[in-house]
Amino acid sequence: MGANNHRSPMLELMKKSIPSKFDGTPSKLNTWKFAVAQFLDFCNMYNPNERAKFAVTLLEGRALTWWRGWSQTAAGDANTVDIDDLFAELTSQFNDIDREMKLRRKL
């Protein structure tokens, strides 16, 4: 039996649990942020900068295009951004204002 035939059950679980990518769809942002935070906690990744670096690998489409521009600014230095700043900037950029207004009206 080769070494490649034996895989760690934890590694397999982690591979299956990786959150989906975020494409900039406003209605998916909060669920995506929650899934990313849960996954990173599960992986015992607590360094805020490392958490942000991982989260960025899950961006695609409009969100990735936004990141490319934002990360080249002084405020978005890819090496120093932490997860809280990244999530705040994503929320600022992709928050679903119309949905939030509708929810507030229902209150």
Q: What percent of the chain has pLDDT over 70?
A: 71
pLDDT tens track for 64-78: 999 999 888 756 666
pLDDT at 107: 67
Q: Which residue stretches of 1-107 are H helix?
A: 9-17, 29-42, 48-56, 61-70, 83-94, 97-106
pLDDT at 2: 47
pLDDT tens track for 28-67: 999 999 999 999 998 899 999 999 999 999 999 999 999 9
Domain spans, the chain: 47-107
More confident residue, 8 or 59: 59
* Rounded-to-integer distance, Cα 60 and Cα 92, Å: 17
